[in-house]
Amino acid sequence: MQTTLQTLWQETRDSDSVRQRLFQVLRQSIIQMVLAPGQALSEKEIADTFSVSRQPVREAFIRLSEAGLVEVKPQRGTYVVKISQRAVLEARFVRESVEVAVVKLAAEKGIDAAILTELHDLLARQRRCVESHDHDRFYRLDEAFHRTLSLGVKQQTAWKVIEEVKAQLDRVRYLSVPHSTPLERLVDQHTNIVAAIEARNVAQAEQAMCLHLREILVSMPDLVRRFPAMFEGREAFDAQPPHSLMQEAIQ
């Protein structure tokens, strides 16, 4: 089924406020390229789409601007920003720093059997997505896997930090799944992370998480070449050539 603003709205919780639901829908629509990089956004059209007033739409635009996903140009309008390679690399650095600490804690102290069962269930569901080529569902299960790890070691704030910084990163992750990174590779990497936690092997767990989160360094140069209109210039790779990023990813 083709993803639309309406289908994303249906996935939000009725108990949330209109403001929160609008923000979630618009954020996810930008990540999933329902709203394309460079596209102009109209307060009135968005408000009419969801039969709401323009005030919560305006507030959602402000939050999206703060997240680096839209740019509000006075007297000109609001636009979905193109993907900033530098912002992606900075977000990846922060995410790795936090999630390596999370997986280290999990391997050192262990995690509850119920959490391990949930992780294995997520792995099984991810493998089914590989078989059915369901990229959208895989993306959601990937999110659930990393969230479960953080919450499983009682690090809710760590996950909030990750969510706050990874908006630009998520756009590349979403683009890479069908176009660059094989799903099988990601499932194997998740499996290795869980195996290292179960074995209580801290070094192996850290290495497995680093390799997984550096996968985007391998895929992004290819995506920039294939979809140049979606990205801002080449500022990040001018500073650090693609081959050096790939070398970093396998070290």
Domain 85-250 is in which class? mainly alpha
pLDDT tens across 46-101, in order? 999 999 999 999 999 999 998 889 998 888 889 999 999 999 999 999 999 999 99
**Distance (Å, whole) CA 51 – CA 182:** 40
**Distance (Å, whole) CA 242 – CA 146:** 26
Q: If we measure between CA atoms, which residue out of 137, 213, 144 comes closest to residue 173?
A: 213
In the numeric block, which tokens belong to residue 14?
């009725």
Model pLDDT, residue 173: 87
Residues 6+ apart with CB under 8 A from 219: 172, 176, 180, 181
pLDDT tens across 101-147, in order? 999 999 999 999 999 999 999 999 999 999 999 988 998 999 999 99
Q: Tell me the backbone φ, ψ of residue 231, rounded to 5 degrees.
A: -115, 150
Q: If we measure between CA atoms, which residue out of 193, 21, 222, 182 comes closest to residue 100?
A: 193
**Distance (Å, whole) CA 56 – CA 47:** 8
Q: Residue 151's CB: how many other CB atoms inside 10 A?
A: 15
Question: Is the full-model pTM beyond 0.85?
Answer: no
Between the alpha carbon of residue 179 and those of residues 29, 182, 197, the distances in Å are: 18, 8, 30
pLDDT tens across 153-193, in order? 999 999 999 988 888 888 998 888 877 789 999 999 999 99
Model pLDDT, residue 249: 39
Per-residue exposure over 24-56, b if at least 16 CB sit within 10 Å of its own CB, e if not? bbbbbbbbbbbbebeeebebeebbebbebeeeb
* Residue of 228 and 244 predicted with greater confidence: 228
The band of 11, judged by pLDDT with boundaries at 50, 70 and 90, is confident
pLDDT tens across 204-243, in order? 999 999 999 999 999 999 999 999 999 987 554 444 444 3
Which residue is it, tokens 């530098």? Answer: 86
DSSP string spanning 177-208?
HHHTS-HHHHHHHHHHHHHHHHTT-HHHHHHH
Give the architecture (CATH level 2) of 5-80. Answer: Orthogonal Bundle (1.10)
Break the chain into its structural domains and give their ranges.
5-80, 85-250
